[in-house]
Amino acid sequence: MEAATRAGKPTPIDRLSRSRGRTQEARARLVYGEWLRREGRRVDARVQLRAAQESFAEMGAHAFAERASRELLATGERARRRVPETSSQLTPQESRIAVLARDGRSNPEIGTALSISPRTVEYHLHKVFTKLDIASRTELHLVLSAARTR
């Protein structure tokens, strides 16, 4: 791929970007970015990894998007602040807990309702708050209510 780039020829990734293979392109960028990082070419790796991360996030391939994000962090890039979109980025368990918290239930009440410990509820709420970029149950109520009215 390096020789093609230097010769001004299209790389395999360039060809994939012109095709309908968005998933294959994102996957190729991820693998290439990982390789570049391991070769010590952090700046070059970031270009590929950012593109892969954005593509996977748009496609809803969250596991691959997270993998690209971890690789980006390994290059020394700082984590980007998450943009609260909707509750769809939450896991099913996080969604259930978020709805119960929005409705005014305490951690022990949520734990009893879902047969989990209050500490586990606290753990999941922390993840919910981080993903939605909020800091309180009041904000949780506002965000989930806004998402429900869309």
| Residue 2 clears pLDDT 90, i.e. is over it | no
Expressed as residue numbers, the domain containing 118 is: 87-149
Q: In this structure, are 102 and 126 located in the same domain?
A: yes
pLDDT tens-place string over residues 87-127:
447 888 888 999 999 999 999 999 999 888 999 899 889 98
Identify whether residues 61 and 107 lie together within a single domain: no
Domain count for the chain: 2
State residue 82's pLDDT score: 47
Tens of pLDDT, residues 58-71: 888 888 988 998 99
Determine, yes or no, domain membership for 55: yes
Whole-prediction pTM value? 0.46
Statement to judge: residues 13 and 64 lie in one domain: yes
CB atoms near residue 48 (< 10 Å): 25
- The phi-psi region of residue 38 (left if phi > 0; otherwise alpha if psi is between -120 and 50; otherwise beta) is alpha
Structure tokens at 66: 């997270």
In a domain, 61, yes or no: yes
Cβ atoms of 98 and 140 within 8 Å: the answer is yes
% of residues, the chain, pLDDT over 70: 77
Tell me the average pLDDT of the chain: 82
Query: pLDDT band at residue 7, thresholds of 50, 70 and 90?
Result: low
pLDDT number for residue 4: 52
CB 51 within 8 A of CB 28: no
pLDDT of residue 49: 92
Q: Which CATH number belongs to the domain containing residue 93 in this structure? A: 1.10.10.10
Has residue 81 been placed in a domain?
A: no
End-of-domain residue from the set 41, 74, 107: 74
Q: Which of 49, 46, 55 is nearest to 17 (CA)?
A: 55
144: closest CA among 83, 109, 103, 93? 103
58 and 95 housed in the same domain: no
What number is the average pLDDT over the span 42-65? 88
- Residue 7: inside a domain: yes
